[in-house]
Amino acid sequence: MKEEKFLNLIKESLPESAGYLGNDTAYISEKDLILTQDTLIEDIHFRTRTISPFYLGRKSIAVNLSDIAASGGIPCHVLISLSMPKNINEKFVKEFYKGVHSICAENKVIVAGGDLTASKAITISVCAIGKTDGLIPANRKNAIPGNAVITTGNFGSSGTGLYLLEEFYKKTGFSEKITEKIRTKFVNSHINPVARIKEGRKILESAQKPAMMDSSDGLADALYKICAMSNVAMEIDFGQIPHDVDITQVFSDKDMIRQKILFGGEDYELVATVSEEVYKNLKKEIFVKKIGVVKKADDNPFAYVKFNDGKSLKIDSGILDSGLFRHFEE
């Protein structure tokens, strides 16, 4: 995992910063602040032919709010740096910031500044600022054996939406079994994700010290990273992972369905570990689903996924390198 190697190099170069690195947010305890930053680059993270400027504006904010949600924090401000080719038109800028305004208004978040520059490709870098209101944010290191592994929402929907946008119609044309309603639902999951701010806050308030992160890089990635940071293993029941049943209308091959659910990415659901008692209380207030249990790691950390046909999959750094999108490829 080259990205992980780069992170270790950064920690070695900035030893005084090592305590802040490793989670998707930085916690500044003396200021009660949670900080995060994400960058979206044209033709790497999005294509203008598959997402409108309005939804690109929404999504650029949503992915950062999701990081705040994964800490259990409350978002309050964002800073936006937007770099664009010189031939970009005013309509793009206007629609992009309409999208930004709509999602910020929904979440009571203020755009407090940013930067505009010229570039060869559209590049969006957002810094989101949140607060903890006195609570210690969730951390990937907090999973302990005996915890329930819980999730919010459906997995595989965003990856299915991207497939419908980029591959399905181009390769095979329209299929009658994929109705416009189904197509719209999955595409919307990809272009208009929801940050689980309420759920993240409720999990933190209820569990106090949960391990938690979002599934921006896929469910499998989140499970493994929590295992690695907490030095634990997980036993996951694939049959309990929530997903939209209409995914079978898009894919007939069960291995493809499993791939989308585990490795599809960009669902921005939360993955957390809490006690069984906390889980029982949480499901009375928000949608959460138990998908497995945390186990003691006998050797290297990993997540063990059991399928209902008797097959299984061990998720470790090796399987992620072969099955997950990475920013830094060999």
For residues 225-234, give the mean pLDDT: 96
Q: How far apart are CA 300 and CA 227, in angstroms?
A: 9
Burial of 286 (C-beta count, 10 Å sphere; 0-12/13-18/19+): middle
- In this prediction the pTM is 0.90
pLDDT at 329 over 50: no
Secondary structure of the chain as H, E, C letters: CHHHHHHHHHHHHCHHHHHHCCCCCEEEHHHCEEEEEEEEEECCCECCCCCCHHHHHHHHHHHHHHHHHHHCCEEEEEEEEEEECCCCCHHHHHHHHHHHHHHHHHCCCEEEEEEEEECCCCEEEEEEEEECCCCCCCCHHHCCCCCEEEECCCCCHHHHHHHHHHHHHHHHCCCCCCCHHHHHHHHHHHHCCCCCHHHHHHHHHHHCCCEEEECCCCHHHHHHHHHHHHCEEEEEEHHHCCCCCCHHHHCCCHHHHHHHHHHCCCCCCEEEEECHHHHHHHCCCCCCEEEEEEEECCCCCEEEEECCCCCEEEECHHHHHHHCCCCCCC
The sheet that has 123-131: what strands, in order across it?
26-28, 33-41, 123-131, 74-84, 110-118
- Of the chain, the percentage scoring pLDDT greater than 90 comes to 80
By DSSP bridging, strand 123-131 and strand 74-84 are: antiparallel
With bands split at pLDDT 50, 70 and 90, how would you rate the model's confidence at 81? Answer: very high
Q: How far apart are CA 238 and CA 5, in angstroms?
A: 30
CATH number of 140-323: 3.90.650.10
Tokens, residue 4 = 């992980």
What pLDDT score does 272 carry? 98
Q: What is the number of alpha carbons within 13 Å of residue 183 lying toward its C-beta?
A: 13
In tens, the pLDDT along 267-291 reads 999 999 999 999 999 999 999 999 9
Give the range among 38-47, 169-178, 283-292 with minimum mean pLDDT: 169-178
What pLDDT score does 198 carry? 98
So where are the chain's domains? 2-131, 140-323
CATH number of 2-131: 3.30.1330.10
Cβ atoms of residues 123 and 39 within 8 Å: yes
